[in-house]
A and B are shown apart, each in its own frame.
Chain A
Amino acid sequence: MTVPISLKVNSEVYKIDVGTNETLLEVLREKLKLKSVRRACQEGDCGVCTVLLNGKPVNSCLVLAVSADGCEITTLEGLSQREDFRALAESFVRNHAVQCGYCTPGMIITAYYILQSMDEVTEETIKKGLEGNLCRCTGYANIVSAVKDAYEQQK
């Protein structure tokens, strides 16, 4: 069954037809060609598919696109246009928080949310906030440093 939906993705409104079984991840990647939203486990265990859904980080592999009708979605492509994201991206690069890069879009989206929305930004709250984004390359050390560094900068 296909259903017409409207998604506001990275500030642009898309009217598309989606199968009722298509995930938001699939629609973002395949229909909207937003390749920064990645596939790995596709069952909510790794976080590489993280996007902001109405401003909050979610696993896009667990959201049916049809269920996200009318929602606002932000991917890395959209975040990269924002002024308040630049410092975080630069901090990630400066602090060598990126090795193979596969987990990075999901990771940085969650990190962005932590910086923008969490009451307390400490090493502990950063680590806890990132618990749903697995990384195998970096051991997380430089990722946490990068978020802390960006936080210090924005204060």
Chain B
Amino acid sequence: MIHDKLTKTLIGESVYTDDFEYPNMAYCVFVGSTQAHARIKEIDVSGAMQAPGVLKVLTGKDLIQYMDPLPATSDFSVVGWHWRVPKVYPLAVEKVGFYGEPVAAVIAETEYAARAAAELIQIDYEVLPAVVDAKHAMQPDAPLLYEEWGDNVQVHVTFEWGDIDSVFSEADRVLKVSWQEGRVSGFPIEPRGCVALYDKNTKELTMWGTYQTPYIAQRCISTTLRLPRSKVKVIALDIGGAFGNKINSWKDTVVALGSILTGRPVKWFENTREFIVTGPHQRDTIWEGEVAVTNGGKVLGVRAKYIQDLGVESTNRGAAAMSIVPACAAIPNAYRLKALKVDAYGVVTNKSFFCAYRGYGKDKGVKFMERIMDWIAAELKIDPAEIRKRNFIKANEFPYKQISGYVYDSGDYEKVFDEAIRMADAEKWRQEQQTLQGSGRYIGIGYAFTVEPAGVTVANCVFTGATEARIRINEDGFVEVWSDRTEIGQGGNITIGNVVSEILGANLEDIIVHNVTSDMVGSGPISSRGAVYPLSAVAKAARELKARVVKIASFFLEENEENISVGGGLIFSVKNKDKKMTFKDLARRAYFSPGPRGLSEELKLKGDIVLDVIATWYSPNTAKNPTSTYTTFCSSADVAVVEVDVETGNVSIIKYVHVHDAGRIINKQVIDGQLYGGIVQGIGEALIEEILYNEAGELLTKTYADFLMPTSVDAPGILLKHVETPSPFTETGAKGMGEAPIIGSKAVIISAIEDALRPFKVRIDRAPATKERICAWLSSRKNGDKEVKS
């Protein structure tokens, strides 16, 4: 039975990491640096080691005896890119590189004892100058995080598609464009944690925890601890949200080592503060460039420099150094671009590591392009909705090969966009805007269009595109499903259930979807790939199993295969309604009574007799179009109306419309839930969310009281509508979805604020547009500043 999480809790079956208990379990607490950049002169753990209840205290110097450095999650140096992988241990060894970086781990009988002992640890730092700004980090005199590099550029790639020079020379106009996003992250309400158990008998390590991607975690943990993969099992428990923030595993290796060394199960469960301080951060991007346009509003090309702040690094603790690739390749968005050139840099700074957050990298290119569209509209005095339509890829052009190499599967951008404009009653609001200006009130209408690439496969990195799914019918009539689609609250389990039920004919309540473990190869629910890869593998396995079910049932029911159908928990003949069996009947007969011995000769020779199938699946899009990293491409339109209080900078959202094309809808409630959630996150990013460090590199926003996320009061009413252009590339016709809402919402709110402030000639080139920033922009325009001071 696939229970929702409330029912699961009510029947006492939910097990989140903090609930997981083992007899004799010890507790691990991490101790971090209060310096952003320093050499560790000495760590004195003697007091901690003697504290009551302490079993073990580990420092970086201890780790290097037992562990290899964390393996790289991606390495493109093999294809000749400027790609550096530092040597990283989960506890700082000689240097600390960010505020809060773990320098020691205390393992004790209780969490209380571990924390008490932690207080006794003394650290002597040789403070080094910190660098907290990516542009500063790129300057020749900037402090270096990794001296052996000679600079702070972890990765650098130049992308060029089409003939950029000729596109710019033929343009009627060239506009300067710049756009910056502040640092944010997902910080789901449940922080991270795990329980590690090393069994000395079998020499097997089991890890239970908040693993969004158990298979990837297994790779990291086993490699680091020099254990064969076959001896490491990673199990995802109930997970309280992830959004990409729980992909990596690095501290877990220390927890595992703690279990190995103490012989006890060891739990680590951080609190929100530790999560915010040492968790993965995201956005923190700078774009500077130019766009070439025609007078008629056609976008010809973009050339830009893109600087991605990777924090301390994003190849070891993090897995998003390569997000600069989709950041650049997603720029063309929904439009027909002729050329694109981006000089992309991933720069290290003394901040927590960069990893994934809903959007990953694709979001950045799309938001950049949507800002560009608004600016072109303003410059050419063309309506911002119209400018997009003039550049849209048309419905009859799919599959469409974008210049960046992605092959867009399907879509009808005009239909999606027009519907959103209609639902928002944009015309009426335009009139209202005029009227209100007369009385000193400023409303704005914003537009954003998002194409969301999903279903990723990349060489030389952990997001490989591998997936497998297994389905088995048991003698008790239940159907078990395993996949790599970890349930993180996104509705993975129920949609798997829906697909299996639809194809196999079993009742939903008889389908058991297992928690994901590292037993199944795959990258987990990252980058919206759930409905693409895992779900396609599930569908494929379901079809294969169904074929086997039909064969065996046709034998037992003495009916021709073509007359056998499934549905409602039954396998039946369409010709004779007395010929039917339940899945339980079938399984009993197939397994036991009479069992395989009693099947036909043909079936026995073919070996198709066990009701258990594993399938793998790979994107036919990428297979046929090797430059298309992604398989499916959702599209969505956001239209929003805001009122800006030009005295306080307060922004009220008075109308919000989102029209979405996720291909074939399997479960509308699940999809709508993703849309509401993503939109509110994006609104948060547009208005209030910002991770701030001071110049010395101390993190200033350490809690939910300072890193502000939307409350229920901050969430506006949202109107949703769907368009369905099925994907030709997935087994179900569904597209991977979930990131478009967070992308479009951030863009549309910025767009709407800018539209409201048009009388003041404010151009918004950064987010978040906090109240204070809006006031500052207004007053700098009032002071006649030519450049808006951001």
Q: Do chains A and B touch in the complex (CB under 8 A)?
A: yes
Which of A35, A101, A144 counts the most B-chain CB atoms under 10 A from its CB? A101
Interface digits, A110-146 against B, CB 8 Å rule (1 contact, 0 not)?
Answer: 0000000000000000111011111111111111100
User: Which of A7-15, A63-71, A89-97 makes up part of the contact surface?
Assistant: A89-97
User: Which of B36-44, B227-235, B376-384, B677-685 makes up part of the contact surface?
Assistant: B677-685
Given contacts A80-B10, A128-B713, A134-B189, contact A101 B680 (CB under 8 A): no
Contact B14 A141 (CB under 8 A): no
What is the size category of the interface that chain A forms with chain B?
Answer: 35 or more
- A89 CA to B6 CA, complexed, in Å: 8
- A29 CA to B18 CA, complexed, in Å: 10
Contact A99 B677 (CB under 8 A): yes
Q: Out of A45, A128, A142, A143, which one reaches B704, CB within 8 Å? A: A45
A48 contacts chain B at the CB level, 8 A cutoff: yes
| A92 contact set on B, CB distance < 8 A | 6
Contact B712 A133 (CB under 8 A): yes
B703 contacts chain A at the CB level, 8 A cutoff: yes
| A48 contact set on B, CB distance < 8 A | 189
Q: Which of chain A's residues has its CB closest to B243's CB?
A: A136
Give B11 Cβ to nearest chain A Cβ, in Å: 9
Contact A104 B673 (CB under 8 A): no
B240 contacts chain A at the CB level, 8 A cutoff: yes
A51 contacts chain B at the CB level, 8 A cutoff: no
- A136 CA to B452 CA, complexed, in Å: 21
Q: Out of B5, B188, B712, which one reaches A98, CB within 8 Å? A: B5
Contact A135 B189 (CB under 8 A): yes
Which of A76, A96, A102, A135 counts the most B-chain CB atoms under 10 A from its CB? A102
Contact B272 A40 (CB under 8 A): yes
Those of B1-33 within 8 Å (CB) of chain A: 4-10, 14, 16, 18-19
A39 contacts chain B at the CB level, 8 A cutoff: yes
| B715 contact set on A, CB distance < 8 A | 127, 139-141, 144
In the complex, number of A-B residue pairs with CB atoms less than 8 Å apart: 157
B86 contacts chain A at the CB level, 8 A cutoff: no
Which of A43, A48, A99, A144 counts the most B-chain CB atoms under 10 A from its CB? A99
Those of B729-773 within 8 Å (CB) of chain A: none
Give B691 Cβ to nearest chain A Cβ, in Å: 15
User: Which of B62-70, B308-316, B487-495, B556-564 makes up part of the contact surface?
Assistant: B487-495
| B187 contact set on A, CB distance < 8 A | 136
B445 contacts chain A at the CB level, 8 A cutoff: no
B359 contacts chain A at the CB level, 8 A cutoff: no
Contact A141 B718 (CB under 8 A): yes
Contact A108 B6 (CB under 8 A): yes
Contact A102 B672 (CB under 8 A): no
A41 contacts chain B at the CB level, 8 A cutoff: yes
Q: How many residues of B contact A (CB 8 A)?
A: 51
- A101 CA to B704 CA, complexed, in Å: 19
Q: Taking chain A's interface residues, is the majority helix, strand, or loop, or is none over half, making it mixed?
A: loop
A38 contacts chain B at the CB level, 8 A cutoff: yes
Given contacts A40-B272, A100-B489, contact A131 B673 (CB under 8 A): no
B190 contacts chain A at the CB level, 8 A cutoff: yes
- A38 CA to B672 CA, complexed, in Å: 27
Give A86 Cβ to nearest chain B Cβ, in Å: 10
| A133 contact set on B, CB distance < 8 A | 712
| B488 contact set on A, CB distance < 8 A | 100
| B681 contact set on A, CB distance < 8 A | 136, 139
Give B688 Cβ to nearest chain A Cβ, in Å: 13
Q: Out of A29, A101, A102, A105, which one reaches B4, CB within 8 Å? A: A101
A42 contacts chain B at the CB level, 8 A cutoff: yes
Q: Out of B10, B189, B243, which one reaches A76, CB within 8 Å? A: B10
A103 contacts chain B at the CB level, 8 A cutoff: yes
Q: Out of B190, B269, B272, which one reaches A45, CB within 8 Å? A: B272
| B189 contact set on A, CB distance < 8 A | 40, 46, 48, 100, 102-103, 134-136
Could you show 17 A-B contacts with beta carbons less than 8 Å apart?
Answer: A35-B14, A35-B18, A39-B271, A41-B272, A45-B703, A46-B704, A48-B189, A99-B677, A100-B189, A127-B715, A131-B711, A131-B713, A135-B189, A136-B681, A139-B718, A142-B673, A144-B712
B residues with a Cβ closer than 8 A to A are: 4-10, 14, 16, 18-19, 186-191, 238-243, 269, 271-273, 488-491, 669-670, 672-673, 676-681, 703-705, 709-713, 715, 718
**Which 7 A/B pairs are nearest by Cβ-Cβ distance?**
A101-B5, A100-B489, A102-B240, A139-B680, A139-B676, A41-B272, A45-B704
